[in-house]
Amino acid sequence: MKHVGAIASRELNSLFVSPVAYAVMTLFAVLAGFFFLSGVLQFQDYVIRLQSFQAMEQLEELNLNDHVIAPFLHVMSVVLMFLVPGITMGLFASEKTNGTLELLLTSPITIWELVIGKFLAAAAFVAILVLLLALFPAILFTYGDPEIGKTAAGLLGLLLVGLVYAAIGAFASSVTRNQVIAFVLSFVLLLVLWMLGFLADLGAAGGAATGEWIGDVLRWLSSADHFESMVMGLVDTKDLAYFGVMAIAFLVLAKTAIESVRWR
């Protein structure tokens, strides 16, 4: 595993040399600012209205965690669904078009080192995005009094979701030499993964009693439910295991795809 660092840092460097990284970070910051601001304004508006109605009970229930931070994190997890593929699309596809995959595969490194190095570079970038995002809830702490544990759990959830996205994006990039195809493929995979939970709900609503266990499987596979419980402040090993399993599964697939270059 001694080559992982070299591969990861080269990848990260080349991300920051290209305009892609800056474009993604800018877009991310702008969207985050927009959604955060609109969330806060809505919250303020809501508070004023409840006060004018003297609705004390509802006012009691209102809090920054559930009504500002949680929706904010949710919408940002959707934003990550199309920004992370932008970062990961070139991971392997660009090595193929550069001809540098031939250098890597004829060097004394293992394919695992290559895949993990690439993943870590993308993971570091996702971590930077999440850190950037943490600034927004931090603003709330100076003006209000949200729960720190719940906020941290939500941010951790977003990071983990982002890492799974990165693993899926790495896989998409490993099966093609075209970056656009890699982008579209990973976006589609992420969308499907996210919607699986809704699909299960739809099936249940339609009264598909026979498909009970299928619904459970779909719900487990869906990233949305696991993320949801972390945003609610629950750090459950079950959810942590989900993120771990998904990331590892797609990295194994990526490794297999790279290996298959040799066997074709």
Q: Which residues are near another protein by CB under 8 A?
A: 3, 6-7, 10, 13-14, 17-18, 98-110, 261-264
Structure tokens at 255: 């490794």
Considering the complex, state which of residue 209 and residue 262 has its C-beta at the smaller distance from another protein. 262
Residue 16 C-beta: closest distance to another protein, Å: 10
Q: Evaluate the CA torsion angle 199, 200, 204, 209 in order and state its sign.
A: positive
Residue 7 C-beta: closest distance to another protein, Å: 8
Reference 110, options 261, 255, 257; nearest CA is 255
Considering the complex, state which of residue 10 and residue 49 has its C-beta at the smaller distance from another protein. 10
Residue 182 C-beta: closest distance to another protein, Å: 18
Considering the complex, state which of residue 7 and residue 163 has its C-beta at the smaller distance from another protein. 7
Residue 87 C-beta: closest distance to another protein, Å: 16
When computed from its CA atoms, the radius of gyration of the chain, rounded to whole angstroms, is 21
Considering the complex, state which of residue 109 and residue 184 has its C-beta at the smaller distance from another protein. 109
Residue 57's contacts (CB-CB under 8 Å, 6 or more residues apart) are none
At how many degrees (to 10) do helices 111-143 and 19-52 cross?
Answer: 30
Alpha-carbon span 159 to 155, nearest angstrom: 6
